[in-house]
Structures are given as structure tokens and as C-alpha cells.
Amino acid sequence: MIRLAGAIGLLALISVPIWLGNSYYVNIASQILIWAVFALALNVLVGWAGFVSLGHAGLFGVACYTGALLIVAGWGHLAAAVAAIAVTLVASALFGVLSLRTSGIGFIMITLALGQILWGIAYRWIDLTNGDNGIILRARPQPFGVSLESPSAFYFFTLLVFLCTLASMAAFAKSPFGISLRGTRDQARRMTALGYHVWLIRFAAILFSGLFSGVAGLLFLYYHLYVSPHVLGLPGSAEVLLMVISGGSGTLLGPIVGAALVVVMKTVASAYIERWNLVLGAIFVAIVLFMPDGIVPGARRFWCWGRNSLRELIAAKGENLS
């Protein structure tokens, strides 16, 4: 059943440019996938490690800026991408060393501060980052000579990266390391007594999360061909956190659903509804009220409840007839 649903979902994703037709909507689909990669990266921390970060847009932005600066400096796209990921990992390591000194609200505040420091650097170090004007790129990369300039081509490129990310996350979730990470979230004391280095596991999780945040940042750069301090700001960190929480943290599907919800509201619904922010806020309130675990776990629960109720109804009718 799950495999069938997965195959249908994959077919639907592959055929998006066909059934959406309009390049505007194909571009929105690409944006959803980019944000889904970012949300999946943050989900490693929020869902599986139990640490809420409000500075992840900083890591996302580090990859954007490093990639943009190196490409503008004349580096090839591949070398720039590798260097951008490496720099993002270094930044993630710094995040980890500083933020893992605490947990809970302290962790949130430190990541928020680190994210804002990166935003401040991007905004004020004008000689390097061009300040508020940002950095513009001329063209998207051409992996193996394939142009990514058309919306469909870029969509398929993004889809490929998204599927690799999803496969990595799925493997990670059921691997010894993924299960150990969840163990540190639930029972850190017990895990220490069992011989696990809890700090190092969490640190490695931040690196893993930073790696895919960097990948998402590069996709964002290639999509927009532009980066500005706005990318690293607190609204970006809060938005991706909302995607994870609204979709369902600690699940694979949740961050993807959350990303789709927020991107569709921001891009599609905003064209028809002037106060789209209000609608999005109302949706979040409804999620908190009726599905506090998020859309995906909530929908699963409603599905089970509906199925069981139907079975009971059928059984009761059968008894009445007999």
C-alpha cells in the first residue's frame, strides 16, 4: 500500500510539467521542492533531535552567498557548489559548538542570534556581499551540458535533488544513527548510560542538517540567480520552522506538505487573496487546534478514526440484520 502510494506520488511529481502546463505553476512546483529540501533538513533537528533552530536560514544563506561569490569570482559551478557546501558545513559546525552548550529555549535563542549575526554580515559587509543590493548571477549551471534555463528542465533538476534528499532522509530515519538520534531526544541520560556520546550525536545531526540546508540554499540560488540579505533573515528561519511544525515534525512527509502549504499560500493564494497572511495564520491556528502534531500525523489519525468508525458501523448493522 505504501509502495503503491509512493509510486503514484513519484509519477505525479515526474509528470508535473505535463499536467500543470503553465510555466508559472511549474516554477511554483520547483519552489515547493526547494523549500521541501530545506524543511527536511531542519526536520532532522526539530523532529529527530528535539532541537528547535531559529537560525537555519543563516546556513541556507551561507551556501547561497558562498556559491554566488565564487561563481562571480570566476569559479566553475561544480567547484563553487562543493566549496559552498564545505563552507556551510564549517558554519554548521560553528553553530553546533556554540548552540549545543544549551538546550530548549537557550538553544533557540543562540541559533536566532547566530542567524542574525550572519544576516548582519550579509547586510553590512558591503565590500564583500554588495549589501542590500545583493549578488546577481548570469546563468544557471549546466550539469553534463544540459541547460536548466527552462522551467521544466530546472524542475526536473530540482526534483532529482529532492528525491536524493528524501531517500537520504528515509535511510537516515531507520538507520542506527537516526534511531540513536531519536534516542538522545527522548532519553538523553539513558543514552549516555548505554555508551552513546550524546553531544557528538547531536553535533553530527547539526552537520547533517546543515549539509542539506546548504543543498537547498544552492537550489534557491540557481532558481533566483540572485541572493540578498533577505535570504538569511529571521522570517526565513521562522517560515521553514512553520513548514516543519505545520506539516508534522519527525515525519518524512510532514515537512514536504508544510512546504507546499506555505509556498502555495505565498505565491498562488496571494494572487487572489489580498490578506493571504491572515488566511495562512488562520490555517496555522486551525492546525494547532485540530492537529497539534501537524497535518500528516493528524490526517493519519483522522483516517484511522474514520476507518474504525466505519468498521464498527458495518459490524453493528450486520448484527442488527442477523
Binding footprint of another protein on the chain (CB under 8 A): 171-172, 174-180, 183, 186-187, 189-198, 204, 208
Least CB distance to another protein at residue 164 (A): 13
Q: How far apart are CA 257 and CA 95, in angstroms?
A: 27
Could you tell me the smallest distance in angstroms from the CB atom of residue 210 to another protein?
A: 14
Identify the bridge partners of residue 226 per DSSP, sorted by sequence position: 136
Three cell numbers, residue 156? 526536473
Taking the complex as a whole, how short is the minimal distance between the CB of residue 241 and another protein, in angstroms? 23
Comparing CB distances to another protein, the nearer of 75 and 199 is 199
Contacts of 69 (CB under 8 A, 6+ apart): 128, 129, 135
**Residue 192 or 308 having the CB closest to another protein:** 192
Q: Which is nearer to another protein, 105 or 193 (CB)?
A: 193
Q: How far is the CB of 40 from another protein (least distance, A)?
A: 14
Q: Which cell goes with 102?
A: 544549551
Among 181, 256, 209, smallest CA distance to 59 is for 209
CA–CA distances in Å: residue 210 to residues 56, 79, 310: 8, 19, 45
CA-based nearest residue to 210, from 68, 74, 97, 79: 97
| In the complex, least distance from residue 15 CB atom to another protein, rounded to whole angstroms | 30
Residue 186 identity: D
- Minimum separation from the CB atom of position 57 to another protein (A): 24
d(CA 140, CA 152): 13
Residue 185 Cβ vs another protein, minimum distance, rounded to whole Å: 10
C-beta of 150 vs 187, nearer to another protein: 187
Cα–Cα nearest to 107, from 217, 252, 249, 206: 206
Kindly tell me which of 123 and 196 has the beta carbon lying closer to another protein.
Answer: 196
Closer residue to another protein in complex, CB, 68/253 = 253
Q: In whole angstroms, what is the distance from residue 153 CA to residue 142 CA?
A: 10
Residue 290, H or E segment: helix 276-290
Between 205 and 280, CB nearer to another protein: 205
Contact status, residue 230 vs residue 119, Cβ threshold 8 Å: no
Compare residues 35 and 203 and give the one whose CB is closer to another protein: 203
- Kindly tell me the burial class for residue 271, based on how many C-beta atoms sit within 10 Å of its own C-beta (0-12, 13-18, 19 or more): exposed
Min CB(65)–another protein separation in Å: 28
For residue 166, the minimal CB distance to another protein (Å) is 14
C-alpha dist (Å) from residue 146 to 129, 153, 156, 179, 192: 29, 8, 11, 39, 49
Nearer to another protein, 25 or 196 (CB): 196
Give the type of residue at 4. L
Residue type, 74: G
SS3 250: coil
Question: Tell me, what DSSP letter sits at residue 40?
Answer: H
